[in-house]
Structure formats: structure tokens, C-alpha cells
Structure 1
Amino acid sequence: MSERAHRGSDAAGTGSAERSPLEALEGARRRFEEADQRIADAGGDAVAEAAEAYRDATELLEEYVDRATGTGRENFKAYVELEGRFDSLVSELPDNLKGYEAFEEALDAIDKRRLSESDFERAHEALEPAARYAELLEEREAAREAIDEARTTAAKRRRELVDEISERERLVELGEADLEAPVEELREPIDAYNEAIETAFEEYRVEASAREVFELLERSRWYPFVDYEQPPDDLATYVRQDSAGEYTIPELLEYANYSRSKLEHYVSSADELKRRVATQQTFLDGIDADPLTIPWPPSEAGALRHRVREIRPFVERIAGEDVVANLRSVRRLATDPEFEYDRLQTAAQAVAQLSPDERERLADGRVADELESLRDERARLEEALEVEDPI
């Protein structure tokens, strides 16, 4: 792009950082329309012909400026080539070509037996009247690229708006919650179950072999709501194949701190146990009941029912009937038509999630105003993006 067209591009983009994506897209379209109109006013297709001739002429000058200046034989040979090629270019131009005289004057500037850099500069200056036609096309192409860039930015903003609108809608929903609702009716059964499963799991850890616990972890792969971290492959293989896997996890962790001589009384290979277990103490310590608990505040009724359905086989495997009964009580919260689960769950979410600032913004109507503004912005962006732009 020429310097003049580049300046025009910069000017058209001034302040774009402060403009919204929609304003940037509309501005880019106006820029294209104006550039296209200037081309039409200057002659339409004739502008493209003049621009092509200008580019061909300047390329010739740039190709020979170093080779055709000087006094040597090769310089003279290059000069003859340049003059012949430039003369052919000008002679083939139609007489009615826009800026035709500029090409003749440029030819006159290099019509000498010996050329210097100043002669090339005069030829470039002579072509200046024709340069405007190339600049018109360059500006229109720059405007087209600006439209593409603005469309990309606008589409990105539209995707962002989905999340922002969803967040404001969540706040509005939480703001409509009954903050005086008796959420303890929901929390007490969940707390009772969580405490029971945590106690039961601690007992399970000190009774079940490491191999059995790892089988439980392996089974959880097929249950998305039972999010246990899987053991490293080398540790899993060791527990599965070595007799040490018959010990409980607390025992293995204890043995990992024994001296090798003392450890030889408990396992077939002290080095192997230290290599496999001692390096994985953090992982082994982290195996607990957390993936089998019900988070507070709880999720929506459908998600809670699904979670309970997935964790129940694991609870039945490691805990007694009393803990399973606690879990059934939690499930009934989300299935009993007499229990106002949705109302209490929403209230619990509101109490847990709404910050003081969010409550204030909800109370004075700012969140509602933001939601309306975001929806309006999304609608206008979608309308703008439906417009077909020049390719």
C-alpha cells in the first residue's frame, strides 16, 4: 500500500480501540462504501486499468534502479532493456487511459543515454498523477480487510455476550430467591449424609486392601459424577500384582517410612515398595470420600438425582445400610412433590453465591439494566452479522 493510502487507513482506524465491535463494523462498511464510491466517481473500471499500468511502471523502475545507473557496460545494457520495456508499456496504453500523460512524462525522464538515481526519482514523480488510481484501489482493499477484521471481532463479542447474558440471568434468578426460606430443611439431610459417608470411608480405608480400593477407583472411570483421580500406572500395576497390594493403604504408607531392613519382614522387595509407594504418598493420602459427597449448595433437582444414582453403588460397597438410607433421604428431597426443593435450592444458591455487591446491584436495578443492554447489544450484533459483505 502506498504511503498516502496507508495514512488513509490509519485515519479511518483512529479511535477504533474505543469503539464497540458493532461501531467498528459499521465504520469499516462506511469506509468501504466511500472508497467504492470514489472509484466509481473516478471512472470505475478505468481506474483499475490505470492502477495496473501504474503498478507495472513502478515495478519496472524499481527493478532497474540499481542495475541501470552508472557508466559500466552492464549498466548501459540494463538501461537499454529498461527503456525498451518502458517504451513498450507506454505505447501499448490506450490514449484515453486515465493519467496517460504521466506515463509519457516518466518515459521522457529516463530517455537519456546515461541514468542516475535522480532520473529515477523524476520518473517516479512524473507518475504521481497516476498513483492516485492505485491508491483508490488500495484503500478499497484495505477497507475490505477492515470489514473482515471487524466481523471477526464482532463474532467474538457475540460469543462473549452469551456468557455475560447467562451470568446476569443467573443473578436475576438468584435475586428472586426467597432468602428467608428454611434452607436448613435441605441442608440438614445433606450434611447428615456427608458426615456419614466420610466416617464410613475412613473405616473402609483402614479395613480394605489397597487392591480393593484401587478396584473401586478403576470402576469410577465409568461414572462421570464419581470423580476419583486414577492412580499412576506403575503404582496401579504394583498394587494389582505384588502381594503388598493386600495391605491397606494406611499400612503401605506406614511401611514406606520403615528402614529397608525392617521392611523386608513385611514385603518381598523393600526397594520396590519404597520406589512405588513412598513417591506417591500425596496421591494415596488424597483418596477420600469427597467424590461421594453432595456439594453445598446442591445442584438442580435433575442433576442431584443423577449424582445420587451414580454414587449409590459405591456407597453400598463401602458403607452400611444406614449410610445408604441417608443417601436415599437426600434423593427424596429432589423427588418428593411435597418438598419445595427448587425454592430451597435456589435460596441456598443465592445465599452462598451472591456477594454483597451483587445484592446491591440487584436491589437498585443495575443488573436488570445490564441484562437489557446486553440483550440489545447481542440483537444488534446478530443483525449486523447477517449482512453480506463484499468478498
Structure 2
Amino acid sequence: MSGVESGSDDDPVSVADIEAARERLRQAEAAVDDYGESEARAVADAYADATDLLTEYEGSATGTGDFAAYVEFQDRFLGLVEDLPEDLPTRDAFEEASDLLDRRRLSESHFEQAREILAPAREVGETLDEREAARDHLQETRRAARRRLSTLDDEIQRRKRLLDLGEADLDAPTDDLREPIEAYNDAVTDAFDRFRREASARDLLDFVSATEAYPLVEFSAPPASLASYLDEAAVGSEPLPTLVEYAGYSRSKLDHYVDDPDRFRERVATNETYLSRLDATPLTVDWPPPVAGRLRRLAEELVSVVARFADDPVVARARRVRNLALRDDYDRIRNAAVAREELSGEERERLASGAVEAELADLEDDRERLRSALDDVPSA
């Protein structure tokens, strides 16, 4: 591969890795085919049975130990070998081991020698194990390659995004958008802070609930238990900062300010975080601003929502923000704002030098070669 940094793969899989995994499986399959599938499995089963017998009787059938165990071992091992098909691969290794063990007295060294004699049969069984391991390895390599492709897709999109930003007119008058948006944000924040301080908590939460009809004004809905409590309780007529202050009182102190301290603590104190975080953020416009269509729809909703608590000058500022989206040069100025916000100095240098275009070409080449290599690999 080209060596372009992906930024997320510690050890990214390469086309060579896929080819090596595929070749490993090919060789493993060929090794099994040299014996035949059924024959290889028969040898593996026979080897497992033989080594199980060696392990089972090594302690009892050796030396001057249990004569009955010795006789039983002889019968079972010799019987195992006699029952093997005449044309079974490595049958001669089983026969040699049987001849070694057919003696009046057995020692532990005879058992070790028998295991060594049976090594060819073990190797046949290992071809099956290696084939299975090779299959698993190839499938894991495929999965790693797909993860790598996902990373490459992300990196390609990042380079394309940089190139798009690099086409922005950085001399565009971004203050034409920034100044009215900042003026609106400051005004609506001040107005909402005043509303939050002065309105009853009941009216404030009613306002927040009403914004659910405006999907782009993303206030979190008040907890139902809190809203219903403030609708009914006398303390709901207090402004929100007062309720937040009460929430920090002890029960004995709270008893002087609310009718039912336990219910207050249950409904209000448990929602103190929600109340404390209730601010003007959902009413503000981000910088850089959204695309023209979304800004227009958002500002139309803001005009309606802000008019519920703010005075006419604040609503007028919201209308000016809405009108920004109608400018013929909005997209050009917005793109410049986005580019100024997102592009670092180093990225600008890479764009100017052509490095980003070169990286994109390398990444796309890497992706195409990796895809082609994956297409040549069976899925199972």
C-alpha cells in the first residue's frame, strides 16, 4: 500500500496480507487433499484413540505393575491396529508401534517411543487442524480488510472535505453574517436570562413545553412530574432561581418556604440538574451557521418562539437572521466561514502544496486494490 497514514489502524491489513492468508489456505487444503478428506479424518481419529490408550495405561501397564492392566492394554492397542483399513495412510506407523508394544514387559520409554513412531499419523491430523486455522485466519483477514476499507472511506471523505473547504473564498465578508448572528444571540440570551429570573417557574416550563411544536428549537421537555407539580403547587409561582435555591435547603429550613417539603424534594429537588441547565442555548444560532435552507427554517421558528417572552427589538434581530439566508451570496460567505473555522494553518499549507490531492489519490488507489483483493477471496 502507499503508506498514507490512516490515523486509526494500528496495524492495517494489506493486499499482501490477504494474498498470504489465501496462499496459506491453499497449501493447507492441498496437504489434506494429498491424503483425502475421509482418510485424513480416519487417521486423526485413530491417532487420537491410540494416544488416549497410551496415556490411560502408561502408569498401570508398565514395569511390574498391574498385570491385568497390561493384558487389557495389549488387547485394546493391538485390536485398534488390526481394525484399521489396510490402505489407511500411515498404517505402517501404527503397526510399528504395535510391534514395539507387543512384548512381555513394558516400560515408560516404550510408551514414549510409540508416540514418536506415531508422529506421521499425528502430522496427518495436523493437516486438518492447519486447514481449519488457515480458514479462520483468512476470514479474520477479510474482516480486518473490511475494517480497513471503512477507515479508508473515512479518510477519503476527510480529504474530499478538505478539498471542498479549500475552494472557499476566504476573502468573503464573513462579518456580514457573524455580526447579525452574534447580535441576535447576545440579545436573545439576555432576554431569556431575564425571563428565567422574573417569570414564574410555572410559566417558564409552560413556555418550554410549547416549543415542542417547533422541532428545530431543541429544548428538553420538562419532566412530567415536575411540570404537573408546579402547575398545582403554590411554589410554582416563584421564579426558577428561587426554586433552585430552595432545592439546596435542608428539610427543616424548607418547611418555612413550601407547603409540603417532602413532595417538593421529590418533584423539584430531584430535577435540580434539569432546572439549572435550562438556558438560552436552544434559542441561539451556531457559528458557522447552518446551510441556507435550515437557517431560514430555524429562524422562522425562532421568530415565533422568541416573541413569546422577548420584546420587539429581539424579535427583529431574529428576523434579520432569517433574512441572511435569503442573500444571493449566503452560500459563498457561509462556506468561507466554515473554512476559516475548520481549516488549520497546517491544512491550508497542505492544500496549497497539493499534498491533500496526492493523499486522496493514494488512498483511493489503496481502497481499489484492497477491494479487488477481497473480491478474489471466497467468503467462506
How far residue 103 of structure 1 moved from its aligned partner, in angstroms, is: 0.5
The answer on 1:384 being equivalent to 2:377 is no
How far residue 180 of structure 1 moved from its aligned partner, in angstroms, is: 0.7
- Taking the aligned partners of 1:119 and 1:305, their CA distance within structure 2 comes to 91
- Taking the aligned partners of 1:67 and 1:234, their CA distance within structure 2 comes to 77
Match in the other structure for 2:206: 215
Unaligned runs of 5+ in 2: 1-9
How far residue 181 of structure 1 moved from its aligned partner, in angstroms, is: 0.7
- Taking the aligned partners of 1:365 and 1:221, their CA distance within structure 2 comes to 48
Q: 1:30 aligns with which of 23, 26, 45?
A: 23
Distance 1:155 1:221, change over 3 A: farther
One-letter code of the match for 2:13? S
How far residue 23 of structure 1 moved from its aligned partner, in angstroms, is: 3.0
Provide the secondary structure at the position in 1 that maps to 2:308.
helix
Q: 2:143 aligns with which of 138, 142, 152?
A: 152
Distance 1:365 1:265, change over 3 A: same
- Taking the aligned partners of 1:141 and 1:262, their CA distance within structure 2 comes to 73
- Taking the aligned partners of 1:47 and 1:253, their CA distance within structure 2 comes to 78
With normalisation by structure 2, the TM-score equals 0.84
Distance 1:86 1:357, change over 3 A: same
Match in the other structure for 2:360: 371
- Taking the aligned partners of 2:212 and 2:75, their CA distance within structure 1 comes to 79
Match in the other structure for 2:292: 301
Match in the other structure for 2:346: 357
| Deviation digits for residues 85-133 of structure 1 (CA, Å, limit 9, x no counterpart) | 3223222223232222100011123223444332221110111122222
Percent sequence identity is: 48
Q: 1:138 aligns with which of 111, 117, 129?
A: 129
Match in the other structure for 1:182: 173
- Taking the aligned partners of 1:113 and 1:216, their CA distance within structure 2 comes to 100
The answer on 1:340 being equivalent to 2:329 is yes
- Taking the aligned partners of 1:288 and 1:351, their CA distance within structure 2 comes to 28
Q: 1:61 aligns with which of 24, 33, 54?
A: 54
- Taking the aligned partners of 1:324 and 1:204, their CA distance within structure 2 comes to 15
| Deviation digits for residues 287-307 of structure 1 (CA, Å, limit 9, x no counterpart) | 211111001011222333343
**Do the aligned partners of 2:302 and 2:318 also contact (CA within 8 Å) in 1?**
no
**Do the aligned partners of 1:60 and 1:82 also contact (CA within 8 Å) in 2?**
yes
Aligned length: 370
Across the aligned residues of Structure 1 and Structure 2, the Cα RMSD in angstroms comes to 3.1
Match in the other structure for 1:10: none
How far residue 177 of structure 1 moved from its aligned partner, in angstroms, is: 0.9
Match in the other structure for 1:7: none
**Do the aligned partners of 2:192 and 2:310 also contact (CA within 8 Å) in 1?**
yes
The one of the two structures with greater contact order (alpha-carbon pairs below 8 A, sep at least 6) is: 2
One-letter code of the match for 1:345? R
With normalisation by structure 1, the TM-score equals 0.82
- Taking the aligned partners of 2:136 and 2:208, their CA distance within structure 1 comes to 54
One-letter code of the match for 1:342? D
**Do the aligned partners of 1:76 and 1:114 also contact (CA within 8 Å) in 2?**
no
How far residue 56 of structure 1 moved from its aligned partner, in angstroms, is: 3.3
One-letter code of the match for 1:382? R
**Do the aligned partners of 2:169 and 2:336 also contact (CA within 8 Å) in 1?**
yes
Match in the other structure for 2:96: 105
- Taking the aligned partners of 2:257 and 2:297, their CA distance within structure 1 comes to 43
The answer on 1:127 being equivalent to 2:122 is no
- Taking the aligned partners of 1:382 and 1:126, their CA distance within structure 2 comes to 47
Of the structure 1 ranges 257-266 and 344-353, higher mean CA displacement relative to structure 2 is found in 257-266
Provide the secondary structure at the position in 2 that maps to 1:181.
coil
**Do the aligned partners of 2:62 and 2:70 also contact (CA within 8 Å) in 1?**
yes
Distance 1:124 1:390, change over 3 A: farther
**Do the aligned partners of 2:13 and 2:141 also contact (CA within 8 Å) in 1?**
no
Of the structure 1 ranges 221-230 and 185-194, higher mean CA displacement relative to structure 2 is found in 221-230
